Structure 1
Amino acid sequence: MLLAFLIEWRLLIDLYQNIHANPRAMESIFKPG
């Protein structure tokens, strides 16, 4: 259970860093269509 939590946390951190590294990626994620 704890391992799954740590894996999800790591994925969230990676996503957060990717968004800040490439702001246009965030636009493509949240832009409808």
Structure 2
Amino acid sequence: MLVEALHLFLVGEKLREAVFVMKNKEMAKALI
């Protein structure tokens, strides 16, 4: 149970990080 919750949390963090990076790239394109 605990391990699965931790795994889901880590996956969620990775997804959030990926979305954050993509948004930053889009903003950079818009600024340049």
- For the aligned pair, the TM-score class normalised by the smaller chain equals 0.5 to 0.7
Unaligned runs of at least 5 residues, structure 2: 1-9
- Higher gyration radius (CA): 2
**Larger helix share, 1 or 2:** 2
What runs of 5+ residues in structure 1 fail to find an aligned partner? 24-33
> Could you tell me the percent identity over the aligned residues?
13
| Greater than 2 Å deviation, 4+ residue runs | none
CA RMSD of aligned residues (A): 0.4
Asked which structure has the greater RCO (Cα within 8 Å, sep 6+), the reply is 1
Taking structure 1 as the reference length, the TM-score comes to 0.66
How many residue pairs match? The answer is 23
